[in-house]
Structure 1
Amino acid sequence: MADRKLPPLADATSGALGAVVANTLVFPLDVIKTRLQVQSKTLSTLSPHQSYTSSSDAFLKIVRTEGIAGLYSGLGAGLLGTVANAFAYFWFYAQVRGWYSRRIGGEGGIGTGMELGLGAVAGALSQFFTLPISVVTTRQQTTVKHEQLSFLQTMKQIRYDEGIQGLWKGLRASLVLCVNPAITYGMFERLKTVWLKRSNNPDGRLSAGQVFILGALSKTLATVVTYPYIMAKVRLQWAPPKITDGELSDDEKESITYKSAPDVLRKVFASEGLAGLYQGMEAQIVKAVLCQAILFVCKDEISVYTMILLRFLFRNNNKSAVSRVPG
C-alpha cells in the first residue's frame, strides 16, 4: 500500500458507491424526465394529472398528487440498476480488455480509439444482464402511486403480461446508445483542442473548471445527438395505462403501441412533430451533468476513506502474521 492507487475492485467499489450517492440526489430529475418522455397528446385527455408542459410543471404536479415520495418512484430499482451497471461494466471491460491485450501481446498497442471501442463492447455486454432492472425502474417511475408494485411484483407482472422477453424491451436501442460515451469523448477532445488553441495556453493543460465546462458541454452535445433514441428506449420499456373500451379509437391505441425504436420515432414525429422527439431533454441534460459532477466529487471522497480502510486492514494482517511467527 505504498502507493496511493486503489486496487481495481476497490476502485470499482468507490465508483459504484459514488454513483449511488449521485443518482439518489438527482433521482427526482430522472423521474421527471421519464414521465415527460412517455407522455403523449393521445393520453393527455385521459390522464390530465399526468400531462406536463415542462419540468417545473411536472415537479409541481407530482408533488401535489403523489407527495414528495412520487419524485422517488422506483428509487430502489434505480439504485440497484446503478450498482449492477457499474459492476457489470467493470467486469466485462476487464475481461474484454484483458483478452485484447493478450491477443496483441501487451497493452502498448491499445490506443484511445480502441479503448473507446472496448468500452462500447463492455457496455453492450452489460446491457444483456442489467436491462431487466431498467425496464422495472421505468415501469415504477411511470406508474401512479396507488398502482405501484414492488420490484419483484413488477417483474412478475411483466413476465405474466408480456412473457420473459418483456424484461428485455428496448435492448436494441440500449445497444445503439453504447456509442454515447464515444461521442462525448470525441466532442470533448475536439473542444479541448479548439479551447487550447484559442487560449494560447503554454503548458497545454486545462484547469479543473475548464475540464468541467468542456465535459458538461460535450455531454450536452452527445445527449442532443442521441436523445431521440433515449426517448425511444424509455417508450419501449413503458407500459401504457389500462384503457377501457371506447376511451380511445383503434388508431389512437395503435399510435401508442410500439414495436421498435424506429417505430417509436416515426409515430412520435407523426403525432407531435420534432418537439416530441426531445420531450424531457432539459431534465435529462441537467440530470446527466449534475450526476457526473457529483459522482466525481463523491468518488474522490470515498476513495480516500477506502484507502484508509485498506491500509488499516493491511497493517492488521501484517501484525497478525508477525504474531504467528514462532519466537
Structure 2
Amino acid sequence: MSTHRAHLKDEGTKLQVVSAGAIAGLVSRFVIAPLDVVKIRLQLQPHSLSDPLAPLREAPAYFGTVVTLKHILRHEGITGLWKGNVPAELMYVCYAAVQFTTYRSMTLFLRTALPTRLPDSAESFIAGATSGAAATGVTYPLDLLRTRFAAQGRHRIYKSLRSAIWDIKTDEGWKGFFRGLTPALGQIIPFMGIFFTTYEGLRVQLAGFNMPWGGEDATAGIVGSVIAKTAVFPLDLVRKRIQVQGPTRSKYVYNNIPVYTTALRGIWMIARTEGIRGLYRGLPISLIKAAPASAVTLWTYERSLKMVMNLDSSREALM
C-alpha cells in the first residue's frame, strides 16, 4: 500500500479532522447553493417531460437547467438561489465533520480490529459507506428543512427556520423530520462506498503527476462524484419528493406531487407516469453540482487539515 496514502489517512487528531471537515463543508455549501436549489426544483416536477401540454396549476414546467435558473431569478430574485441555505450550511458543516471523523475512525478500526488487513478497495468502501450513513442519519432533519425551503417558491410556507421546526414538530411529530430517510440511507451507503473507493484509488494514481494547487485531489473527487451520483440518482429524486409530503404538500411550487408510500413504489410510479427519464430529472445539474462540491470539499479539507495542524504545531512550539 502507498505510504503516502497511509500517512494521509492517519494524520491529524480527531479535533483537527472535525475542524477541517467543518470548514470544508461550510465553504463547499456556499459555492454550490444555487445549483442545489435548481436541482431540487427540477426533481420535484411531477409531470412528463414528453407532455408539455400538461402544465402544473401554479408553476410552469421547467425544461432544463437554464430555464429553471432564469425563472427563479425573474420571479424570486437572486436570493431565491440561496433558499434553504441556513439549514443547508448547518447540514454541510455537521455532515462533513461527521463524515470525515467516522471515515478516519472506521479506517483505523479496520486496520487494528481484524486479524488480516482488507484490500484497499474493500477498506475504502466500508469506511466510506459507514461514514456516509452516520453523517446522513445525524443531519437528516436539516436536509429535510433545506428541501422544503428550496421548494417554497414565491409563497412562503415557513417564515423562519425556527417556525419551520415548530410547525413540523406540531403537525407531523418527530417522525416528520425523517421523511425519506430510508431512500436516503439506501442512496448514501453505495454512493459513499463507490465514491471513496474511486477517490482513494485515483488520487494515488495521480499523485505522481504533481498537479498544481492539489489538483490530484480535486480530479479524483470529480470523477468519484460523477460515477457514484449517477448510480444512485433515482433514490435521491424519490427522497426529495417524499421530503415535501405531509400537510404542506399542496403549498409548494409544485402542488400536485404524488404521495409515495415507499421508495420502491415511488420509483415504479415515476417510471410508469414520467418514463425512465423521469427518474433522472435534474441529473445533469446534479452532476455539475457534485463535481465542484466534492472537489471544493476535498481540496478545502486537505488544505484546512494542514493549516489546523500547522497552527497547533506553532502553538505547541510557543508553549
- Please say if residues 88 and 146 of structure 2, whose CA atoms lie closer than 8 Å, have aligned partners that are also in contact: yes
User: Which segment is superposed worse, 234-243 or 149-158?
Assistant: 234-243
Q: Does 1:225 align with 2:235?
A: no
1:290 correspondence with 2:292? yes
Distance change (3 Å), C-alpha of 1:124 and 1:9:
same
User: What is aligned with 1:181?
Assistant: 192
Question: Do 1:140 and 1:149's aligned partners in 2 also have CA atoms closer than 8 Å?
Answer: no
Unaligned runs of 5+ in 1: 197-202, 319-327
Equivalent position of 1:143 in the other structure: 152
Question: In structure 1, the residue corresponding to 2:250 is in which secondary structure?
Answer: coil
Shift of the alpha carbon at 1:153? 1.6
Tell me the equivalent position of 1:273: 275
Letter in 2 for 1:83: V
Please report how far the alpha carbon of residue 273 of structure 1 lies from its aligned counterpart in structure 2 after TM superposition. Answer: 0.5
Residue 225 of structure 2 aligns to a residue whose secondary structure is helix
Given that 2:210 and 2:216 are in contact with CA atoms closer than 8 Å, whether structure 1 keeps it comes out as: yes
Q: Pick from 243, 246, 251 the counterpart of residue 242 of structure 1.
A: 251
User: Which position in structure 2 is the counterpart of 1:169?
Assistant: 179
Q: What is the match of residue 133 of structure 2?
A: 124
2:24–2:300 CA contact under 8 A, matched in 1? yes
1:84-143 Cα deviation digits (max 9, x unpaired): 1122234444554555555336xx724320342133123223333211111111111111
Alignment RMSD (CA, Å): 3.2
Q: 1 CA distance for matches of 2:207 and 2:16?
A: 32
Q: Aligned in 2, Cα 1:207/1:238: closer, same or farther, shift over 3 Å?
A: farther
The answer on 1:67 being equivalent to 2:77 is: yes
Q: Can you give the 5+ residue segments of structure 2 that lack an aligned partner in the other structure? A: 1-6, 49-53
Change beyond 3 A, Cα 1:68–1:133: same
- Tell me the distance in 2 between the aligned counterparts of 1:309 and 1:100: 30
Provide the rounded CA distance (Å) in 2 between the counterparts of 1:190 and 1:7.
Answer: 24
Aligned counterpart, 1:47: 58
Cα distance in 1 between the residues matched to 2:17 and 2:227: 29
Opposite residue 67 of structure 1, the aligned amino acid is: G
Distance 1:217 1:179 in 2: 15
Shift of 1:219: 2.4
* 1:203-230 Cα shifts (integer Å, max 9, x gaps): 9945545775565334223222211111
What's the TM-score, normalizing by structure 1?
0.78
Q: Is residue 237–residue 279 contact of structure 2 (8 Å, CA) maintained in 1?
A: yes
Q: Percent identity among equivalent residues?
A: 23
- Deviation of the 1:25 alpha carbon: 0.9
**TM-score, scaled relative to structure 2:** 0.80
1:315/1:215 Cα in 2 relative to 1: closer, same or farther (>3 Å)? closer
Q: What is the deviation of 1:191?
A: 7.9
The correspondence of residues 96-115 of structure 1 with structure 2, limited to 5 A, is 96-97=106-107, 100-101=110-111, 103-104=113-114, 109-112=117-120, 113-115=122-124
Structure 1 pair 204–67 and aligned structure 2 pair: CA distance change class (3 A): closer
Q: Deviations over 1:18-45 (max 9, x none)?
A: 2211210111000100111011228942
CA distance in 1, matches of 2:301, 2:221: 17
Other-structure match for 2:313? 311
- After TM superposition, list the pairs within 5 Å mapping 1:17-56 onto structure 2: 17-41=23-47, 44-49=55-60, 51-56=61-66
CA distance in 2 between counterparts of 1:173 and 1:221 reads 18
Distance in 1 separating the partners of 2:102 and 2:300? 24
| Matched AA of 2:282 | G
Of the two, which has the highest radius of gyration? 1
Match of 1:199 in 2: none
